[in-house]
């Protein structure tokens, strides 16, 4: 069920601490950790602790939690001293989503092409 921890979800396991991650920030409702396969000098994932399959499901079920995630992307950018950065929510396998627990990619520390690939 949305919001409930899922045993087979990688990011729920990171929240539970049963899979290690390099955590850079944690709040009551969110965790931010470094992507294991970074695509930029700063590549941090911000996730809600509660399980929602993607950003749209998160926003529909828990709008305040979605706002917490967005606020945390700015906090990560501040800590990483990023003046410019990109927030990406890959949604659906055609867009590259591989983990079905909502997550914001925070990318920065290099020039970022637009439009993205």
- Cβ 24 vs Cβ 32: under 8 Å: yes
Q: Provide the token pair at 115.
A: 């439009």
Q: Which does 23 bind (CB under 5 to 8 A by kind): Zn ion, ligand AMP, none?
A: none
What's the rounded Cα separation, in Å, for the pair 42 and 73? 12
What's the rounded Cα separation, in Å, for the pair 69 and 111? 24
Given 6, 97, 109, 112, the residue binding ligand AMP (CB under 6 A): 97
By CB under 5 A, the count of residues binding Zn ion is 6
Q: Is residue 96 involved in binding ligand AMP (CB under 6 A)?
A: yes
What's the rounded Cα separation, in Å, for the pair 96 and 110? 21
Q: Is residue 99 involved in binding ligand AMP (CB under 6 A)?
A: yes
- Annotated active-site positions, please? 103
Q: Which does 12 bind (CB under 5 to 8 A by kind): Zn ion, ligand AMP, none?
A: Zn ion
Q: Is residue 10 involved in binding ligand AMP (CB under 6 A)?
A: yes
Taking CB under 5 A as the criterion, which residues in 8-67 touch Zn ion?
9, 11-12, 51
How many degrees, rounded to 5, is the angle at CA 56 between CA 51 and CA 61? 55
């Amino acid at each position: 069920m949305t919001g409930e921890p899922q045993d087979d979800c990688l990011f729920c396991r990171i929240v539970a601490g049963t899979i290690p991650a390099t955590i850079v920030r944690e709040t009551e409702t969110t965790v931010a950790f470094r992507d294991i396969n970074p695509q930029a000098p700063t590549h941090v994932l911000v996730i809600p602790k509660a399980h929602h399959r993607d950003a749209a499901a998160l926003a529909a079920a828990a709008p305040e939690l979605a706002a917490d995630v967005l606020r945390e992307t700015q906090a990560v950018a501040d800590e990483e001293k990023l003046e410019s950065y990109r927030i990406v929510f890959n949604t659906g396998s055609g867009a590259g989503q591989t983990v079905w627990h909502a997550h914001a990619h925070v990318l920065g520390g290099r020039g970022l092409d637009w439009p993205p690939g």
